[in-house]
Amino acid sequence: MIIFIILSGLKQLINSLVVNLLKKSKGLKSRLIELNKFDITNIEGPSSEKMKKIMPKVFKTIRKAISGYKKEITDFPEEVKIAPKEFWRDVEEQAEILGVDLIGFAPIDENLIFEEDHVGGIEVLYQNTIVLGMEMDYDAIDTAPEPPAGVESMNIYAELGEATNKLTNFIRSKGYRAIACHPLGGPILYPAMAVKAGLGQIGTQGLLITKKFGPRQRLSVIAVNISPLPERPETKFEIESYCQKCKRCALMCPVNAIYDEPIVNENGTVTRNDGEKCIQYFYETTGCSVCIKECPFHKIGYKAMYYSRL
């Protein structure tokens, strides 16, 4: 009887520990992304041939991320694993080899986890994240909303999706636990997590603005049960005053989806655009990207903007 009570108490302790290791949504709503609504039949010429090769790769990398998550949740870890500094250097080197242009690290904020991940079906995450970014081609984005911009947008979803899956596997091969969150859709608000990881700030259109690429990158996340995260020097980076005066993205948005003033929600998150208007045009053009193209941080870069003092 005594042994049974001890074992029962130990089981409850382990279950409690596992629950504390996992992070779940506190109710943040996400826009519905339906993969079957991407229509590439109206794209003609060279862009059509490129898109026919890219879209299967997008779907393949999504399926791989889903498969990895399903395997991950069959046996949750019971502890946070401690990683040496050398491990994080290896991760950064591997990310660079895989074509990742930006990398940052931050603890999960449960307020930023979506109630439903419509693409990947991810419901729980580990407590720390690696935030990844990959640049989109400048010239291609400059054609938005024409097909070359959509092709590049989807191409980076595919390329970053593949890199995210491979880096996740690399982390697992070192004995750690990891969940790959695909750049298309995702279980958490990527731009806000990227800010927490020190990669940049949020622009009027709701995208991450970085010093290196402006708004011209896609983002993904890998959730890990690893601690401590590497320390990084804080970078001074300010765009709010520029964005308040500029508003070019809002003025040029083809469907007027970007709010003139952001809406601050009860949980502290900020809504900067009409998700329904935005996603419908995104489907129609298979990537839109007008708000990226029109952003001065894309056109002339952060340094030039800083010195021009909008």
Domain residue spans in the chain?
47-308
Residue 101 has pLDDT above 90, yes or no: yes
Residue 124 has pLDDT above 90, yes or no: yes
Instruction: Report pLDDT digits (tens) over 235-272.
Output: 778 898 889 999 999 999 999 999 988 888 877 788 89
- Within the chain, residue ranges assigned H as helices are 2-21, 46-72, 85-97, 138-141, 147-173, 190-196, 240-246, 248-252, 275-285, 290-293, 296-299, 301-308
Question: Residue 184 — very low, low, confident or very high, per pLDDT cuts 50/70/90?
Answer: very high
Question: Residue 19 — very low, low, confident or very high, per pLDDT cuts 50/70/90?
Answer: low
Instruction: Report pLDDT digits (tens) over 109-121.
Output: 999 999 999 999 9
From first CA to last CA, the distance across the chain in angstroms is 75
Q: Which of 223, 143, 132, 145 is nearest to 183 (CA)?
A: 132
Q: What DSSP line would sit under 226-292, residue for residue?
A: EESPPP-PPPP---HHHHHHH-HHHHH-TT--EEEEEEEPTTS-EEEE-HHHHHHHHHHHTS--HHH
CB 301 within 8 A of CB 200: no
Q: Looking at beta carbons, which pairs linking 51-59 to residues 24 or more positions away fall under 8 Å?
A: 51/147, 51/150, 51/151, 51/154, 51/286, 54/151, 54/154, 54/155, 54/158, 55/154, 57/158, 57/161, 57/162, 58/154, 58/157, 58/158, 58/161, 58/184, 59/35
Residue 4 has pLDDT above 50, yes or no: no
Instruction: Report pLDDT digits (tens) over 24-83.
Output: 999 998 888 898 898 888 898 999 999 999 999 999 999 999 999 999 999 989 889 999
Task: Report how far residue 188's alpha carbon sits from residue 116's, in angstroms, rounded to the nearest whole number.
Answer: 9
Question: Residue 169 — very low, low, confident or very high, per pLDDT cuts 50/70/90?
Answer: very high
**Phi then psi for 195, rounded to 5 degrees?**
-65, -45
